[in-house]
């Protein structure tokens, strides 16, 4: 009796928790509302199955609990019932899979008007690179990374000269324009994740990975690293600011190009770039030292 | 009395029985024993011991997450060492060792009607190499730099770099060495379990008369023998990268302004090898639990398991399918995105045989005669947590839904529910069920019920709300949840609540351990078959069974393992070795 009651309470409690608790996703800021919708479909289907199975169990425990003189039925198989359950399950699974794959297809096919934005992860900071006037990013190589060339842009590639380099500072994006995030790392695995954008992807040293999205509202959003990347991992935060077109152009005008940064007298000027709110890797390293020596 | 007629179809013995090696001294009887039952208890005790280390590590992690900034000694470095060791111990050194080395060794020979495993000496070696693997693992706590903090997935390149605890010290070397030893030891045991099931069954015990416990452990062992080699080669290659400076998994890297002498390796290759092992590993833990829980439900509901043949094929089908779903752990790893279509499809297909198993468990309860014994309570709790954790798997398996949820606390909640809580509830149910056979005494009922309620409800309260932290976007593997916009004030409160529940559930396990030890001497005498069960281990002449299990003659099997409440039979169970017919047989053949 008590057991059946507890089983019912688990179902009721779980459903109430789902509906009433304050813990829910952040307001979306990208075009990936499709993903949120797929999650809602999944919550409905799985929620119904969970409630049905556990309530059925509760009923069985109540109705068929042992009492003196009871005897169980003897029924090894029931082909009809088993086939029906298999078919119903297959239909349910298909109802989850088909919209999921449909949205995935959108996710992996980047629209042709998306602008490239490169994100470079390193322990434990984020840097960015935007194509210059030619609209093309120059090629890069981890072996070309030096103090003066922190992203390893290949100097001999003419496409790279006008690239805008944003080292260890905030990324700005214009609202309403699709962007293709090209993800690169120069040391270990990282993962560029902004909860409000709903998208994320690992960055792998030696490869370029990608995802795309369209920012749908202006604001300041926190970047989190979502792949364990060493002891500074939880402090590897960054900032993406989604601007109006006007603000974006103003910000872009203040940034340095690769050619400007490579000129000897300009070295290090990116560190004084305005709007810099992100802790640099070195600061994190210092903070870890303090934590470690406490 | 029922009418006993000679049964047909029992083949004559094919070969003469071989004499077992009988121990001559205390050492060969209890320490270097070749008796599978002693080896089983050695495996179980060692796994429990190292499991307690993992439990303490989980408390330390929950201290940090629930009460950030309060405990200065939990540095980020220490935190990552705790999560790594906790995960690796729980998955490999506790669950795999306990289900296969513990339950496999104890139950396979008894349930198939064999005197022992077919290669007793190799079986003994298996345990001692496992123990060595555990000692190497533990030694990393005392090595310079401490254990590795790379996460249990040990992803390169960071696993062997200086930004990760133990990466350039001894931690990662000892971890990889310990895994290599574990796999060697496991292979010795695993071959034994497989060959014993295939070749050591007694007369009349056809494959389709095996209890589902044996089917679960057998299939899991076959899978482990196919999956562990992938981890073995990955470990050897990473060890070479770390010690000899090869570049299997190491591309060109600029670490903190310094160019490392590696070039051309592939970090993602390791991930494929790891998950080619790692996904079947989930089912290596789950299938024995599936099998055992089927037998617990059937026995304590006094009803045959519903759809036995379907259950067997579901186990085999899940085992086979689980080898083609591994990259669903890698949807956001940066592998080619088209893989997502394939792996999402295979992953969701596996939900079908898994759902069939759930239906058949609950349909076994339907029109049963349900005795709410402690093993039955744990079996019911298993179904609740497994259904919950399995359904959240449909979120993560459906590639695009995984994108926002991957690497968040949702994943932590999901896998703890489905392969942590659910299988461990089965372990507890199984211990309450078979403890009387192994010791001759029952576990204390009052302590057992206390242990059950606190563990089940507490674990559910820990992991159910945790999903919602992940939905908010709280990432996993964060040693500090400070300065984060997703971590609202109420989310911190939820974390504190989860931590407090974790300490309470942990405390209940101490009560369980006390019960295990206390009942050896003070438990109620059990007799040979306290649950009135049909399978062969309950029909042994002595309890606990002596070396050789079955006395002078091996049992002959006349029926399947689930003849409960057969119409016309006087008792509500008919042991497998009882000859005779009770009306037209409805045993599925």
Can you list the domains of chain A with their CATH numbers? 2-64+79-108 (no CATH), 115-265+273-293 (2.60.40.420)
Residue B253 and residue A142: Cβ atoms within 8 Å? yes
Q: Compute CA distances A256 → A135, A262, B396, B497, whole Å.
A: 16, 10, 41, 48
Q: How confident is the model at residue A11 (pLDDT cuts 50, 70, 90)?
A: very high
Task: Kindly report which listed range (A267-281, B322-336, B461-475) carries the lowest average pLDDT score.
Answer: A267-281
Give A237's contacts in chain B (Cβ within 8 Å). Answer: 483-484
Q: Compute CA distances B65 → B69, B87, B474, whole Å.
A: 9, 16, 12
Q: Is the pLDDT of residue B273 over 70?
A: yes
Query: Can you tell me the distance from the alpha carbon of B26 to that of B3, in angstroms, rounded to the nearest whole number?
Result: 47
Residue B391 and residue A46: Cβ atoms within 8 Å? yes
pLDDT, averaged across chain B: 94
Burial B119-145 (b: 16+ CB within 10 A, else e): bbeebbbbbebbbbbbebbbebeeeeb
Task: Kindly report which listed range (A279-293, B221-235, B388-402, B531-545) carries the lowest average pLDDT score.
Answer: A279-293
Considering only alpha carbons, which residue of chain A is nearest residue B253? A187
At B534, list the tokens: 């049909």
Query: Can you tell me the distance from the alpha carbon of A7 to that of B387, in angstroms, rounded to the nearest whole number?
Result: 13
Q: Quick one: average pLDDT of B233-241? A: 97
- pLDDT tens per residue across span A111-159: 999 999 999 999 999 999 999 888 899 999 999 999 889 999 999 999 9
Residues 6+ apart with CB under 8 A from B276: B227, B230, B323, B326
Q: What is the CA radius of gyration of chain A?
A: 27
Is B50 contained in some domain?
yes
Residues 6+ apart with CB under 8 A from A275: A169, A170, A172, A241, A251
Is B1 contained in some domain?
no
Is B407 contained in some domain?
yes
Considering only alpha carbons, which residue of chain B is nearest residue A107? B400
Percentage of chain A beyond pLDDT 70 is 89
What was the ipTM of the complex prediction?
0.93
CATH code, B334: 1.20.210.10
3-state SS track over A225-260: ECCCCCCCHHHCEEEEEEECHHHHHHHHHCCEEHHH
Q: Is the pLDDT of residue B474 over 50?
A: yes
- The shortest CB-CB distance from A66 to any of B164, B369, B566 is to B369
pLDDT of residue B515: 97
Query: Can you tell me the distance from the alpha carbon of A139 to that of A141, in angstroms, rounded to the nearest whole number?
Result: 7
Q: Is the pLDDT of residue A265 over 60?
A: no
Is B171 contained in some domain?
yes
Is B579 contained in some domain?
no
- Rounded to the nearest angstrom, the gap between the alpha carbon of residue A78 and the centroid of all alpha carbons in its chain is 46
- pLDDT tens per residue across span B348-382: 999 999 999 999 999 999 999 999 999 999 999 99
Query: Can you tell me the distance from the alpha carbon of B471 to that of B449, in angstroms, rounded to the nearest whole number?
Result: 34
Describe the crossing of helices A2-20 and A33-63 by its angle, rounded to 10 degrees: 160
Task: Kindly report which listed range (A277-286, B296-305, B495-504) carries the lowest average pLDDT score.
Answer: A277-286
Query: Can you tell me the distance from the alpha carbon of B140 to that of B146, in angstroms, rounded to the nearest whole number?
Result: 6
Phi, psi torsion values for B150, nearest 5 degrees: -85, 0
Is B122 contained in some domain?
yes
Give B407's contacts in chain A (Cβ within 8 Å). Answer: 191, 193, 200, 226-227
Query: Can you tell me the distance from the alpha carbon of B438 to that of B373, in angstroms, rounded to the nearest whole number?
Result: 18
Q: Quick one: average pLDDT of A242-265? A: 90
- pLDDT tens per residue across span B559-583: 999 999 998 888 899 999 998 776 5
Strand positions, DSSP E, chain A: 115-122, 125-130, 164-166, 171-174, 179-185, 190-193, 200-203, 209-213, 219-225, 237-243, 256-257
Q: Is the pLDDT of residue A289 over 60?
A: no
Closest chain A C-alpha to B152 CA, distance in angstroms? 11
Query: Can you tell me the distance from the alpha carbon of B146 to that of B139, in angstroms, rounded to the nearest whole number?
Result: 9
Residue A54 and residue B488: Cβ atoms within 8 Å? no
Do B80 and B151 touch, CB atoms closer than 8 A? yes
Beta bridge partners of A191: A202
Query: Can you tell me the distance from the alpha carbon of B252 to that of B258, in angstroms, rounded to the nearest whole number?
Result: 11
Give CA torsion, residues B270, B395, B455, B212, to 10 deg: -80
Q: Is the pLDDT of residue B101 over 90?
A: yes
Query: Can you tell me the distance from the alpha carbon of B372 to that of A6, in angstroms, rounded to the nearest whole number?
Result: 13
Q: Quick one: average pLDDT of A153-180? A: 94
Is B570 contained in some domain?
no
pLDDT of residue A286: 57
Alpha helices per DSSP H over A32-78:
33-63
Angle at CA of residue B138, ends B504 and B284, nearest 5°:
70
Q: Is the pLDDT of residue B346 over 50?
A: yes
At A82, list the tokens: 């088993």
Q: For chain B, report the end-to-end CA distance as a whole number of angstroms.
A: 26
Is B17 contained in some domain?
no
Query: Can you tell me the distance from the alpha carbon of B401 to that of B317, in angstroms, rounded to the nearest whole number?
Result: 25
Q: Is the pLDDT of residue B5 over 70?
A: no
- pLDDT tens per residue across span B102-127: 999 999 999 999 999 999 999 999 99
pLDDT of residue A276: 39
Residue A187 and residue B395: Cβ atoms within 8 Å? no
According to DSSP, the β-strands at A209-213 and A179-185 are antiparallel
pLDDT of residue A292: 47
Domain that holds residue B153: 30-251+266-539
- The shortest CB-CB distance from B268 to any of A89, A143, A204 is to A204
Do B99 and B220 touch, CB atoms closer than 8 A? yes
Give the total number of structural domains in chain B.
1
Beta bridge partners of B408: B475
pLDDT of residue A164: 94
Nearest CA among B217, B236, B11, B14 for reference residue B117: B217
Q: Is the pLDDT of residue B337 over 90?
A: yes
- pLDDT tens per residue across span A37-95: 999 999 999 999 999 999 999 999 999 999 988 899 998 888 999 999 999 999 999 99
pLDDT of residue B504: 97
pLDDT, averaged across chain A: 89
Q: Quick one: average pLDDT of B159-176? A: 95
Q: Is the pLDDT of residue A277 over 50?
A: no
- The shortest CB-CB distance from B341 to any of A3, A104, A211 is to A104
Q: Residues A225, A227, A228, A230: is their CA dihedral positive or negative?
A: negative
Interface of B with A in 143-202 (CB under 8 A): 149-151, 155, 157-158, 161, 163-165, 167
pLDDT of residue A4: 96
Give the number of other CB atoms < 10 A from CB of residue B186: 25
Residues 6+ apart with CB under 8 A from B431: B443, B516
pLDDT of residue B6: 44
Containing B40, the helix (H) or strand (E) segment is: helix B36-66
């Amino acid at each position: 009796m008590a057991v059946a009651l507890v089983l019912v309470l688990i179902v009721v409690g779980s459903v109430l928790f789902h509906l009433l608790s304050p813990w829910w996703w952040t307001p979306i800021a990208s075009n990936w509302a499709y993903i949120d919708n797929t999650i809602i479909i999944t919550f409905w289907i799985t929620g119904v199955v969970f409630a049905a199975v556990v309530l059925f169990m509760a009923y069985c425990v109540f109705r068929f609990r042992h009492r003196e003189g009871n005897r169980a039925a003897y029924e090894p198989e029931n082909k009809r019932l088993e086939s029906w359950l298999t078919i119903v399950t297959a239909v349910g699974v298909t109802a989850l899979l088909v919209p999921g794959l449909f949205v995935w297809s959108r996710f992996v096919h980047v629209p042709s008007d998306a602008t490239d934005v490169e994100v470079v992860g390193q322990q434990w900071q984020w840097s960015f690179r935007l194509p210059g006037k030619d609209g093309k990013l120059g090629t890069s190589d981890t072996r070309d990374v030096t103090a003066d060339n922190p992203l390893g842009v290949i100097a001999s590639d003419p496409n790279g000269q006008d690239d805008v380099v944003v080292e260890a500072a905030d990324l700005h994006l214009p609202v309403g324009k699709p962007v293709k995030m090209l993800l690169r790392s120069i040391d270990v695995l990282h993962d560029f994740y902004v909860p409000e954008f709903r998208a994320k992807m690992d960055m792998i040293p030696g490869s370029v990975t990608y995802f795309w999205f369209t920012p749908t509202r202006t604001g300041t959003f926190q970047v989190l690293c979502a792949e364990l990347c060493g002891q500074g991992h939880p402090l590897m935060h960054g900032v993406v600011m989604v601007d109006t077109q006007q603000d974006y152009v103003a910000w872009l005008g203040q940034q340095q190009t690769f050619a400007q940064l490579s000129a000897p007298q300009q070295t290090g000027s990116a560190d004084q770039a305005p709007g810099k709110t992100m802790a640099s890797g070195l600061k994190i390293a210092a903070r870890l030292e303090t934590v470690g020596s406490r | 009395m029922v009418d006993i007629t000679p049964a047909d179809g029992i083949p004559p013995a094919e070969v003469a029985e071989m004499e077992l090696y009988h121990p001559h001294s205390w050492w060969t009887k209890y320490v270097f024993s070749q008796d599978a039952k002693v080896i089983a208890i050695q495996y179980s005790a060692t796994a429990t011991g190292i499991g307690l280390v993992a439990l303490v590590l989980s408390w330390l992690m929950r201290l940090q997450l629930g009460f950030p900034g309060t405990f200065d000694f939990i540095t980020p470095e220490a935190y990552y060492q705790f999560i790594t060791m906790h995960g690796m111990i729980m998955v490999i050194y506790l669950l795999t060792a306990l289900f296969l080395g513990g339950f496999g060794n104890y139950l396979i020979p008894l349930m198939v009607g064999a005197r022992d495993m077919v290669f007793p000496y190799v079986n003994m070696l298996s345990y001692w190499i496992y123990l060595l693997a555990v000692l190497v693992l533990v030694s990393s706590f005392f090595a310079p730099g401490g254990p590795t903090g790379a996460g249990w997935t040990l992803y390169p390149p960071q696993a062997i770099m200086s930004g990760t605890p133990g990466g350039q010290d001894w931690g990662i070397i000892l971890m990889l060495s310990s895994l290599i030893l574990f796999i060697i030891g496991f292979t010795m045991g695993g071959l034994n379990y497989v060959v014993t099931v295939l070749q050591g069954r007694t007369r009349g015990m056809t494959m389709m008369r095996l209890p589902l416990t044996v089917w679960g452990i057998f299939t899991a062992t076959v899978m482990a023998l196919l999956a562990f080699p992938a981890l073995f080669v990955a470990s050897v290659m990473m060890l070479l990268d770390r010690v000899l400076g090869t570049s299997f998994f190491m591309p060109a890297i600029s670490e903190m302004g310094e160019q490392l002498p590696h070039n051309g390796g592939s970090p993602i290759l390791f991930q494929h090898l790891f998950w080619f092992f790692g996904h079947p590993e989930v089912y290596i833990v789950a299938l024995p639990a599936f099998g055992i829980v089927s037998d617990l439900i059937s026995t304590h509901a006094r009803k045959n398991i519903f759809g036995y043949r379907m259950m067997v094929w579901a186990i085999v089908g899940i085992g086979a399918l689980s080898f083609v779903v591994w990259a669903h752990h890698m949807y956001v790893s940066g592998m080619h995105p088209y893989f997502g279509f394939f792996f999402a499809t295979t992953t969701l297909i596996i939900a079908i045989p898994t759902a069939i198993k759930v239906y058949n468990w609950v349909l076994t309860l339907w029109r049963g005669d349900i005795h709410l014994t402690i093993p039955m309570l744990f079996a019911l709790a298993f179904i609740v947590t497994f259904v919950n954790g399995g359904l959240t798997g449909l979120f993560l398996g459906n590639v695009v839904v995984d994108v926002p949820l991957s690497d968040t606390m949702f994943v932590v909640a999901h896998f703890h529910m489905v392969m942590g809580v659910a299988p461990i509830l089965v372990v507890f149910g199984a211990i309450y069920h078979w403890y009387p056979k192994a010791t001759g005494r029952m576990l204390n009922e009052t302590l057992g019920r206390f242990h059950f309620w606190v563990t089940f409800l507490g674990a559910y309260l820990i992991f159910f709300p945790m999903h919602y932290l992940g939905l908010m976007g709280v990432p996993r593997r964060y040693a500090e949840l400070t300065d984060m916009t997703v971590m609202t004030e109420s989310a911190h409160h939820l974390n504190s609540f989860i931590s407090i529940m974790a300490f309470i559930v942990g405390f209940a396990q101490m009560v369980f351990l006390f019960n295990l030890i206390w009942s050896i001497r003070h438990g109620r005498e059990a007799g040979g078959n306290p649950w009135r069960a049909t399978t062969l281990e309950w029909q042994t002449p002595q309890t606990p069974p002596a070396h050789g299990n079955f006395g002078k003659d091996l049992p002959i099997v006349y029926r399947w393992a689930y003849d409960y409440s057969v119409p016309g039979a006087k008792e509500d169970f008919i042991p497998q070795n009882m000859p005779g017919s009770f009306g037209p047989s409805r045993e599925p053949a």
